[in-house]
Structure 1
Amino acid sequence: MPQTALGAELFVDVARQAVERVVAGNKDAVGVAARLFADCVAADGVIHAFGTGHSQAAALEVAGRAGGLVPTSRIALADLVLRGGEDPSVLADPLLERSPGLADRLYDLATPRPQDLFVVISNSGVNNSVVELALKVTGAGHPLVALTSLEHTHAVPALHASGKRLADLADAVLDNGAPTGDAVLPLPGGGALCGVSTLTSSLLVQMVVAEAVALLLAEGHEPPVYVSANIPGGHERNAVLEARYAGRLHRGGH
């Protein structure tokens, strides 16, 4: 049946409240994350974003979008096939993100430099690939920004052998405010409808980017920012900016 006006209005109301809580609750964390972003860009670094499942949407907000920073790179499980030579059948495993041993491969395929920054995104913050990558990058000396749901991550068991969650390892933790399970509208027969984390996570990413660019400008840097490739001259302008980071910008397998 078609969505009723009441259903849509209810979600908008609940989502608006979630946005307001996220904005109010992340002011300090956004400032810390923005400082890390700005320092990375100023040092000729690249910001690498990794998320699995629907967390890939937030990674796409970080890496390679119009109005976003140019020195950004997206890490994806598909890299194992598209750039790492694995058989495509590996991606058919619905629990691949929980498999141990992926982080070293993904890190190497990202080709990071010492000044690079990592953003790891996971609602639960407990799956093996997420925690392993966080351990890998922090062990290599890279700053780490986590984007997660603190309510969800503390409501579920830690799955990694270390007992760590993503939030335990980061230099800045952005809390997307999503409830355990993400969906916000309870259904009469049980379960819930309409995830909110995509909205709030995208908002947090854009807040960090806006603050980071403000810092860069205030400190005398010219921020490398994408324009839409779908306006006249946009692709050419972006290509000039990307040339500074040749071979360092990967976009989920490409």
Structure 2
Amino acid sequence: MNEHHDQSVSLQACWLQLLHIQEELLTTQTEAIQQAAQVCAECIEYGGVIHTFGSGHSRAFAAELVHRAGGLAPINRVDFEDLALYGDWSLKHVRSLECERDLTAGAALLSYHRIEPHDVFLIASQSGVNAAVVEYALQIKQRQHQLIVLTSLKHTRETPSRHPGGQKLYELADIVIDNRTSCGDTLLALPSSEQICSASSLIGVLVAQLLNSEIVNVLQSRGKDVPAFVSDNIEGGIERNLSLQRRYEKRVRYKG
């Protein structure tokens, strides 16, 4: 990890650090991912929708799960930009770094989506301390939904909460998946002690696909339908995907 200050900075060094994190993830987080998959599969089985969210670079995790070949149809991506797309918030503000520190942004997010009792929520946040993300999680738990969180336990435990209530995201979760990255989300140290290269986006995308595969595994083991998209660019793909979109269109916003 990035604690090894004697490492040279190179493609090979970065590769080895990334491999190390992935091996740690598989060794330590398989059970949590399997538990999360059970919850998500039950949600789909009972007609619920999985709502996924990430701000900043954690948006990569949220986007990886939605509206793509091999992905499951009943997954809805929640984003700060929804406040401008479906509400009257300024696009400039919702795209700014300040938005994730804005308590009212987190409080407002759920009001722009149709939420039902069986729904499950996935949130990715490297630090898990910003006010908007924590407030969003609090709103979810007040409605008694299951909450799965992907975060860096190293990072969040070393960082003070920015929410006025003092909570951190992982403390509100029913299931926590630790992405095993460092505090600060860097991999390699320069001689000047500055840190470079990051892993959380790559690990987030990896976790998304591991979770996706395990949800399908659970659904198949129960003899349930797997509502998965295929590529639009194969024979019959467009028709199949439109059929799935129509099934969930009242619950899922299929945006880009």
Matched, 1:57 2:57: no
| Aligned match of 1:199 | 202
**For residues 217 and 53 of structure 1, do their structure 2 counterparts lie closer, same or farther at Cα, with a shift above 3 Å needed?**
same
| CA deviation string 1:130-152 (max 9, x = no partner) | 11111111110111100100000
Matched residue, 2:236: 233
| Number of residues of Structure 1 aligned to a counterpart in Structure 2 | 249
Q: Name the residue aligned to 2:165.
A: 162
Structure 2 gap segments, 5+ residues each: 1-7
Deviates more, 1:98-107 or 1:147-156: 98-107
> What TM-score results when the alignment is normalised by the length of structure 1?
0.93
Aligned to 1:115: 118
Take 1:112 and 1:62, find their aligned partners in 2: how far apart are those partners? 18
2:35 match: 32
How many angstroms does 1:251 deviate by? Answer: 4.5
181 and 251 in structure 1: CA distance in 2 versus 1, 3 angstrom threshold? farther
Matched, 1:218 2:224: no
Q: Does 1:133 align with 2:142?
A: no
Give the Å deviation of 1:231.
2.5
Aligned counterparts of 1:87 and 1:102: Cα–Cα separation in 2: 11
Q: Residues of 1 paired with 2:92 and 2:214: CA distance?
A: 41
Match of 2:3 in 1: none
1:248 matches 2:251: yes
- State the TM-score, normalized to the length of structure 2: 0.93
SS of alignment partner, residue 49 of structure 1: strand
Q: Distance in 2 between matches of 1:32 and 1:161?
A: 31
Distance (whole Å) between structure 1 residues aligned to residue 219 and residue 123 of structure 2: 23
Question: Is the CA contact 2:9–2:190 (under 8 Å) kept in the aligned structure 1?
Answer: no
Q: Determine the structure 2 residue equivalent to 1:145.
A: 148
Shift of 1:87: 2.5
| 1:220–1:63 distance in 2 versus 1, CA, 3 Å | same
**How far off is 1:229 after superposition?**
2.0
Q: Tell which deviates more after alignment, 230-239 or 23-32.
A: 230-239
Letter in 2 for 1:202: V
Is 2:105 the partner of 1:102?
Answer: yes
Question: d(CA) in 1 for partners of 2:254 and 2:149?
Answer: 19
Q: Alpha carbon RMSD of aligned pairs, Å?
A: 1.6
Amino-acid identity (%) = 37
